[in-house]
Amino acid sequence: MTLELFGPDESTAATREDLLPGVVVLRRWTLAVDAALVAAAHGVTTISPVRHMMTPGGFTMSVAMSNCGEWGWVTDRKGYRYDRIDPETGTPWPAMPAIFQSLATEAAEEAGYKNFMPDACLINRYEPGARMSLHQDRNERDFGQPIVSVSLGLPAVFQFGGDKRSDKTLRVTLSHGDVIVWGGPARLRFHGILPLKPGQHPLLGAQRLNLTFRRAG
Ligand code: SIN
Ligand code: FE2
């Protein structure tokens, strides 16, 4: 189903698509506030810069990451987890900007998940070639809470799998301003991002910025 949310202009109007049970894509949902989101993300990464973290298996991730909010997602040789402290700065992660918080709550509600109050926002910076292999988001305490994921900058191909890594995947292109929300029966589906194609985006240049909101604690 596609539902027009604002404006008659097809190139900028936000739409809502039910992709799979529990998965909703809100196209162009953040276009009207894109510059404010990019500025807020920049404010966070000025304090806690994006960095290439190491997986428990010893591989350096191609995506550079930072966080804001009460909890930040981290990985190193000791494992994947949430931590209140940025290991690079030794201080708490920057506060979650108000515009992030309200956007995540509103997007979740539009997707059918009421009262979502994120306490963690992972900021993923992809440069051409960067990718994220299939994984489940399972370091959060309550799988009853959805995931809200905002795409800015260059487009990327998002893969949605099943509950097993070997399950067939569905591919969906996420462009600047799109939001994907998953929860309920889809909460533990495997997902990932194919290698980012080179390009130039008017606001972000040769990169994609992804904001992933979670209720971690
Ligand atoms: C993630 O699964 O943490 C990132 C997904 C994305 O970059 O869209
Ligand atoms: Fe994820």
| 10: pLDDT strictly greater than 90 | no
User: Which amino acid belongs to residue 145?
Assistant: Q
Report the pLDDT value the prediction gives residue 150, as an integer from 0 to 100.
98
Q: Which atom of ligand 1 is nearest to the CA of 73?
A: 3
**130, 63 contact by CB (below 8 A):** yes
Question: What's residue 1's pLDDT?
Answer: 43
Q: How far is CA 63 from the centre of its chain?
A: 12
Whether 3 maps to a domain, the answer reads no
**Closest to 212 (Cα-Cα) out of 169, 167, 182:** 182
CB 193 less than 6 A from any atom of ligand 1: yes
Q: Is the pLDDT of residue 198 over 70?
A: yes
- For 112, residues 6+ apart whose C-beta sits below 8 A from its C-beta are 24
What's the predicted TM-score (pTM) here?
A: 0.95
Structure tokens at 113: 């998940």
Domain presence at residue 104: yes
The response to whether residue 210 sits with its C-beta less than 6 Å from ligand 1 reads: yes
Ligand 2 centroid to residue 8 C-alpha, Å: 33
pLDDT value, residue 12: 80
Per the domain annotation, does 137 fall within a domain? yes
Q: Is 9 exposed, middle or buried (0-12, 13-18, 19+ CB in 10 A)?
A: exposed
pLDDT tens digits, one per residue of 145-195: 999 999 999 999 999 999 999 999 999 999 999 999 999 999 999 999 999
Looking at the chain, the whole-number percentage of residues with pLDDT higher than 70 is 95
Task: Judge whether 4 lies within some domain.
Answer: no
Structural domain that includes position 204: 14-214
Supply 95's token pair. Answer: 């506060």
CATH number at residue 42: 2.60.120.590
Could you tell me if residue 9 is inside a domain? no
What pLDDT score does 9 carry? 63
The number of folded domains in the chain is 1
Residue 2 lies in a domain: no
Residue 95 contacts residue 68 (beta carbons within 8 Å): yes
Each residue of 36-92: pLDDT tens digit? 999 999 999 999 999 999 999 999 999 999 999 999 999 999 999 999 999 999 999
Q: What is the mean pLDDT of the chain?
A: 95
Indicate the burial class of 86 (C-beta count within 10 angstroms; 0-12, 13-18, 19 or more). buried
| 67 Cβ closer than 6 Å to some ligand 1 atom | no
Does any domain span residue 46?
A: yes
Report the distance separating Cα 145 and Cα 52, nearest Å: 27
SS3 category, 162: coil
